[in-house]
Chains A and B, each alone.
Chain A
Amino acid sequence: MNFRQAGRLNYDPAPTAGAGTDRAFWQGSTMTGVRVLVGTSKGAFVLTSDGRRQQWEVSGPQFGGWEIYHVTGSPVDPGRLYASQSSGWSGQVIQRSDDGGRTWQPAGNKFGYDGETGTHQWYDGTPHPWEFARVWHLEPSLTDPDTVYAGVEDAALFRSADGGNTWQELAGLRTHRSGPSWQPGGGGMCLHTIVLDGSNPGRIFTAISAAGVFRSDDQGATWRPVNHGLSSEGVLPDPDADVGHCVHRIAMHPSRPDVLFMQKHWDVMRSDDGGQSWHEISGNLPTDFGFAIGVHAHEPDTVYVVPITSDSEHYPPEGKLRVYRSRTGGNDWEPLSNGLPQSHCYVDVLRGAMAVDSLEDCGIYFGTTGGQVYVSADAGDNWVPIVRDLPRVLSVEVQTLP
């Protein structure tokens, strides 16, 4: 079995239960490689390669026609994947795979808020009732393949301990006293980021647009906003408010869990104390608006962002698609453009659409609203497109297979 054959199997439009003899291969037991999981506005795609990351097998679309906000895998069982599948017609579906995406089974999709929902702020500042729309982000447990968190719109955090079959809200977040003041960002009032701390099992970070970052130290029972140092001038009546900030993404290196990097609506920020305080590290970036942010797998001070022109101009400055890398934990940034379009490029890179693998030469991946997925197999120095013409890319994750 080689990658080409395995990939072709993944085109099966009506997969049947049972992974068959390829199961071991799809769980990555035969060789080192990577599996890139791409969620798009019209289906999911799986891109596989060996450790060189030069030849790629593309499979999909899986769940064609549906919006796939996120596909991701369990860090302790790479065969176990979860996907958030939704449509304007038919709402939310959760899919689960036990063979690395070759076959899928619908899991539970009943996301009921726990108790009274109350109201948050609507776009115009009037009270608006909490309404479930979709799952933006799935974050599998670092220790148990059957435990997975879901961040949803309207903002709330859910948890499943049975492989996604049933979901329970961790309502302490939504019922935080600041909840009535939360308001939607441009993408809706979504909980889009969940970061778990492997060194502290009780600790969970979530980010909500537009409320900010919240931290729990008791496995999600109670929460507090951790936004001190964030400033949103021209957007909030009090630019330094405790909540209300449009945080776009946060990233952590697992070896240094008290250091967090953030791409905010405007500003790239850093915290050195688990979110208790933040300082700006935008430095020499051409613009500090953007969505995605990532950290190198082996260098905790090497950070990646994709600067986007402005809050109204969601495309790269000067029509040049450039990733910026800081090797100093921020402030000092260098443009990375080799292999990326440097003229007439007006795509966006959304918050969930950047990922890093953990091979020795760290690979960086990002997807665009124009349907390209780019890879750099040398930490950002050189880029090539794996695919060019997918639907709008909503999320990119990568699994490094043993």
Chain B
Amino acid sequence: MIRVVLPAHLRRLAGISGEVTVCCDGQPTQKLVLDALEASYPMLRGTIRDQLSGNRRAFMRFFGCGQDLSHESPDAPLPAAIAAGTEPYLIVGAMAGG
């Protein structure tokens, strides 16, 4: 079970409050977490990753365990604490956005 924290504007869009939890088959990666998130909340498609390229949107950032994961490979395994659900996976609007 992966804990995901969304920025406020996306929580409102998806009609959720607080954290979201998603499940991944196999070793969790950023791509698998976002795939699962979008499957549960289709209105988030295109708002975090470009729908056509699958790339992270320029003004969205990914953090976790005190690290900036934005530039890690989407297919790299997530840190163990995120995979174990003890630390959340943070989706953040860039400071320059809004």
Contact (Cβ within 8 A) B98 A90: no
* Segment of A106-114, A257-265, A304-312, A391-399 engaged in the interface with chain B: A106-114
**B71 CB–A CB distance under 8 Å:** no
Q: Interface size on B (CB < 8 Å)? A: 22
Contact A88 B97 (CB under 8 A): yes
**Which positions 106-153 of chain A face chain B at CB distance < 8 Å?**
106, 109-110, 112
* Complex interface residues of chain A between 324 and 376 (CB less than 8 A to chain B): none
Kindly report which residue of chain B lies nearest to residue A16, judged by CB atoms.
Answer: B15
The residues of B that contact A110 with a CB separation of less than 8 Å are 45-46, 51-52
Rounded to whole Å, the gap between the CB of B37 and the closest CB of chain A is 13
Q: Which residues of A70-97 are within 8 A (CB) of B? A: 87-93
In chain B, residues 38-68, which have Cβ atoms closer than 8 Å to a Cβ of chain A? 42-43, 45-48, 50-52, 57, 59-60
Residues of the B chain whose Cβ atoms lie less than 8 Å from the Cβ of A92: 46
Contact of B45 with A91 in the complex, beta carbons under 8 Å: no
Q: Is B85 an interface residue (CB 8 A)?
A: no
Q: Are B51 and A90 in contact (CB under 8 A)?
A: no
Whether a CB of chain B sits under 8 angstroms from the CB of A1 is no
5 closest Cβ contacts across the A-B interface? Answer: A106-B43, A90-B47, A89-B97, A89-B93, A89-B59
22 contacting pairs across A/B (C-beta < 8 A): A64-B12, A87-B9, A88-B59, A89-B7, A89-B9, A89-B47, A89-B57, A89-B59, A89-B60, A89-B94, A90-B9, A90-B47, A90-B57, A90-B59, A90-B60, A90-B93, A93-B13, A93-B46, A109-B45, A110-B45, A110-B51, A110-B52
Please provide the chain B residues from 3 to 50 with a CB less than 8 Å away from any CB of chain A in the complex.
7, 9-10, 12-13, 15, 42-43, 45-48, 50
Cβ A91 vs Cβ B12 within 8 A? no
Q: A88-B59, A89-B60, A91-B57 are in contact. Are A109 and B51 (CB under 8 A)?
A: yes
Q: Which residues in B have some Cβ–Cβ distance to A below 8 Å?
A: 7, 9-10, 12-13, 15, 42-43, 45-48, 50-52, 57, 59-60, 93-94, 97-98
A109 CA / B46 CA spacing, docked (Å): 7
Partner of B98, one of A13, A88, A109, A112: A88
Residue among A64, A89, A93, A106 facing the most chain B CB atoms (10 A cut-off): A89
On chain A, the residues within 8 Å of B15 by CB distance are 14
Q: Are A13 and B46 in contact (CB under 8 A)?
A: no
Q: Which residues of A are found within 8 Å of B10, using beta-carbon distances?
A: 90
Q: How far is the CA of A109 from the CA of B57 in the complex (A)?
A: 15
* A65, CB-defined interface residue at 8 Å: yes
User: For the complex, is A66 an interface residue (Cβ under 8 Å from B)?
Assistant: yes
Q: Kindly report which residue of chain B lies nearest to residue A88, judged by CB atoms.
A: B97
Rounded to whole Å, the gap between the CB of B47 and the closest CB of chain A is 4
Q: Are A87 and B97 in contact (CB under 8 A)?
A: yes
CB distance from B58 to the nearest CB of A (A): 9
When distances are taken between beta carbons in the complex, the residues of chain A under 8 Å from B46 are 90-93, 109-110
> Taking CB as reference atom, which chain B residue is nearest A13?
B12
A106 contacts which chain B residues (CB < 8 A)? 13, 42-43
Q: Would you give the shortest CB distance from A399 to chain B, in whole angstroms?
A: 25
Closest CB in chain B relative to A97 CB, distance in Å: 15
Q: Give A85 to B66 CA distance when docked, in angstroms.
A: 32
Docked complex Cα distance between A230 and B98 (Å): 38
Q: In the assembled complex, which residues on chain A have CB atoms less than 8 Å from the CB atom of B42?
A: 106
Cβ of B91 to closest chain A Cβ, rounded Å: 10
Q: Which of B43, B45, B98 sits near A89, CB closer than 8 Å?
A: B98
- Which B residues are CB-close (under 8 A) to A93? 13, 43, 46-47
Specify which chain A residues have a CB less than 8 angstroms from the CB of B47 in the assembled complex. Answer: 89-91, 93, 109
Q: Once the chains are docked, how many angstroms separate the CA of A263 from the CA of B93?
A: 38
Tell me, rounded to whole Å, the shortest Cβ–Cβ distance linking A61 to chain B.
11
Contacts of B60 on A, CB cut-off 8 Å? 89-90
Closest to B10 in A: A90
The residue from A13, A14, A66, A90 contacting B48, defined by CB atoms under 8 A apart: A90
Q: Nearest Cβ in chain A — how far from B17, in angstroms? A: 9
Identify the closest chain A residue to B60 (Cβ): A89
